[in-house]
Amino acid sequence: MKCFLSLLLLPVVVWGYCDPEFTRVGEQCLSFVTQYQLTFEEAGEYCNEMRGASLVTIDSATQFKALVDYIYSSELAIASYWVDGNDKDSEGVWISSSGKKFPMGTPFWAAYRTSQEPNGIRKENCAHLFIPVNFYINDFACNRTNLFICEQADVPTRIIQYEPPEVKSCPMHYVEVGGKCLSFMAYEEVSWESARLRCRENEGDLAIVDDIELLRAINLYLQAEELTDHDFWLGASDAQTEGQWLWTDGSSVPMGTPFWGLVAQYNQEPDGGVDENHLALLSKGYFYFRDADGSLPLHPLCQLAE
């Protein structure tokens, strides 16, 4: 028993205090430099002079969401910001200054109905949070200037122990994705209301995707299973009150970046008004949230009832 418990009690890092020049944002200590607009290289050098800091890294969907939420809540939505990502050495291979892989796809990079960033080929090799696209990541010419965000290096930490959650065991027709038991019914296409009925027949309901890591996990699963040419219904609607998006359990749907996709002229979903009252993940939208006509035939994405 002692040996078994030792396997469960795994170490986890807990972040310490930030230096005075930095502010806690999620699990990072950050400084938003708004007094200078510098090139990508100059911004990195400026950060390095701040006790060895660097441009802010983005390693997870949770981290990215915390960063964007902070920009909006702290009145920092004034211009675009450099972040630590580039493909200068090898076109299309995006890395950070430390050589780590830079996250790609949804829910990080700006996506429209027919295209997703990065799209600058050899002319745009550095990553920034682009204000016209609601601070989704966009590729940009490295010699242009932006505001930028520095991340404190060597944040003091301490180690505690915790017992990790159990891995879900999902029943037939369901698969574990992002800690949930989901069923991707790729064999039939039905309206939103009919999709709910199909899910209920299988002891579930249309999926509630209220965590950004779950949206990321769904995207990775669709890629791995070669389902990226399918469209799926989710369990949310604003049919009762236009503009008030609610999940089937009555909770509010998260709005804005990094959940909802973009449309032409840099506008953000939802944009369908009274004609599009149901929530979908569409292939021609890179599986960001998009409003759609509930009568359309899409695949049910079910979640096992808990």
Enumerate the domain spans of the chain.
7-151, 175-304
* 136 closest CA partner among 260, 35, 250, 7: 260
CA distances from 75 to 34, 38, 72, 267, 295 (A): 11, 21, 6, 20, 40
Alpha-carbon dihedral 75, 86, 133, 37, rounded to 10 degrees: 40
* 302 closest CA partner among 225, 224, 190: 190
Q: Give the integer Cα–Cα distance in Å for 239 and 241.
A: 6
According to the model, what pLDDT value does residue 2 have?
Answer: 38
According to the model, what pLDDT value does residue 122 have?
Answer: 75
According to the model, what pLDDT value does residue 157 have?
Answer: 56
Q: Give the integer Cα–Cα distance in Å for 258 and 130.
A: 13
Task: Output the six-digit token pair for 202.
Answer: 């299988």
Task: Tell me if 110 sits within 8 A of 117, measured CB to CB.
Answer: yes
The dihedrals phi and psi of 297, each to the nearest 5 degrees, come to: -85, 105
According to the model, what pLDDT value does residue 164 have?
Answer: 55
Looking at the domain 7-151, which fold is it?
Mannose-Binding Protein A; Chain A (3.10.100)
Task: Output the six-digit token pair for 247.
Answer: 């999940």
pLDDT in tens for each of the 306 residues of the chain?
333 333 334 445 455 688 999 999 998 999 999 999 999 999 999 999 988 899 999 999 999 999 999 999 999 999 999 999 999 999 999 999 999 999 999 999 999 989 999 998 779 999 999 999 999 999 999 999 999 999 998 776 555 555 556 667 999 999 999 999 999 999 999 999 999 999 999 999 999 999 999 999 999 999 999 999 999 999 999 999 999 999 999 999 999 999 999 997 789 999 988 999 999 999 999 999 999 999 999 999 999 998
Which CATH homologous superfamily contains domain 175-304?
Answer: Mannose-Binding Protein A, subunit A (3.10.100.10)
According to the model, what pLDDT value does residue 17 have?
Answer: 82
Q: pTM score, two decimals?
A: 0.90
Q: Is 280 helix (H, G, I), strand (E, B) or coil?
A: strand
Q: Are the folds of 7-151 and 175-304 the same?
A: yes
* 271 closest CA partner among 238, 236, 227: 238
